[in-house]
Amino acid sequence: MTDSDPTPAGEFRTAHPGADVEMAYAGSNTFLKGESRDVDDLDDVDVGVLGVPYDGALTNRPGARYGPEAIRRASAWWAYLSNYKGGLTNMNTGAQVDYSDLHVADCGDVPVFPMDYEQTAESIRSHVATVAERTFPFVLGGDHYCTYPAFCGFAEGSGADSVGLVQIDAHTDTSNESATFGKHYHGSSTRLIAESQYSDFDHISQIGIRGYESPNFFEFAEESGLNLYTMRDVHDRGITDVVVEAVEAAAADTDAVYVTFDIDGVDPGIAPGTGTPEPDGLSAHQALQVMEILGTHDAIGAADVMEVSPKYDPTESTQTLGAYLAVTLLERQFAE
């Protein structure tokens, strides 16, 4: 047999075109079955995906370290469907979607240091900055503290002087300090972002906040300029009006907007796989509407999905929704 002769495997694939269709549960475990790339090799792609398997800054149930792998595995379904059907019709938006128009590269997981949050944060910042120099970063977490260094990395890498934040969450994450965790943990990430050189509370919008916060929190929100939209606001005004107003506030007089979606923003009856569940959250329909609207806004320059803890959801619905949220934003940005 010469090098030019077909191999038995090649002959089989030629004879059976279906062999080119990779099942959702087969093959490599990358986001949307995207090719694996180094963070410094992204100049020809639309999106660079990074995983952050770190949950050392959580105050409640651990397990978000397993979120990136679970979201990647769940995302394979959309890649399979698009490949199998030759494109898709999004039955929610009515849009024609072709994922071959969305060039995603998966850069794997950033190095994490479970006993050293500072070194982990520096790892996140530097890797997101490297991606942001080249393309749109999408981060899969990980606990919500990881958003702070990811946000700073995006600002640094994209060259933005000012960046707004749209945060979908059950909690505000504006704590000043914890007697147990100090100033750096998942309950302080938004305050750290507001106090960074890249943003302030005037350009931070929060959607779906509920439960309990510190005393006199509404006074703090008014005095600081925080754009606060509680779940009661969502119920009273509707999700569309809230999201449109929230993103406009975050985008005003900024160079770009970073979107962070903590999965506990969704009702735990729908997405129980998270560390700090709170009743009366967003429905799956409302959550997807959030990403549909944000995905059409020109200011959005980076995004993440955080705090998926698959061990608390044997149905795997939480990571499936997490993947669907990411896919929805990205398809509206790049594949419609």
Asked if the structure places residue 213 within a domain, the reply is yes
pLDDT, tens digit (0-9, with 9 covering 90-100), for 227-275: 999 999 999 999 999 999 999 999 999 999 999 999 999 999 999 999 9
Q: For residue 9, is it within any domain?
A: no
Q: What are the two backbone dihedrals, phi and then psi, of residue 104, each rounded to the nearest 5 degrees? A: -105, 135
- What is the per-residue pLDDT for 111? 96
Query: What are the pLDDT digits (tens) for 51-100?
Result: 999 999 988 899 999 999 999 999 999 988 887 667 788 888 888 887 77
The secondary structure of 111-150, three-state, reads CCCCCCHHHHHHHHHHHHHHHHCCCEEEEEECCHHHHHHH
Rounded to 5 degrees, what are φ and ψ at 112? -120, 155
Q: Has residue 10 been placed in a domain? A: no
What CATH number is associated with residue 306? 3.40.800.10
Annotated binding site: 144, 169, 171, 173, 262, 264
CB atoms within 10 A of CB 46: 18
pLDDT of residue 191 exceeding 80, the answer is yes
Band (pLDDT 50/70/90 cuts) for residue 6 is confident
At 50, is the secondary structure helix, strand, or coil?
Answer: strand
Sequence-separated (6 or more) residues with CB below 8 Å from residue 315: none
Is residue 17 included in any domain, yes or no? Answer: no
Is pLDDT at 185 greater than 90 in this prediction?
A: no
**Is residue 302's pLDDT more than 70?**
yes
- Flag whether 7 is in a domain: no
Residues spanned by the domain of 53: 24-334
Q: Say if residues 139 and 61 touch (Cβ distance below 8 Å).
A: no
Binding residues for Mn(2+): 144, 169, 171, 173, 262, 264
Q: What is the DSSP string of 70-111?
A: HHHHHHHHHHHHHHHHTSEE-TTT--EE-GGGS-EEEEEEPP
Secondary-structure breakdown of the chain: helix, strand, coil percentages, each rounded to the nearest 5: 45, 15, 40
Number of domains observed in the structure of the chain: 1
Does 308 fall in a domain? yes
pLDDT at 105: 97
Note whether residue 2 is domain-resident: no
Identify the band that residue 22 occupies on the pLDDT scale cut at 50, 70 and 90.
confident
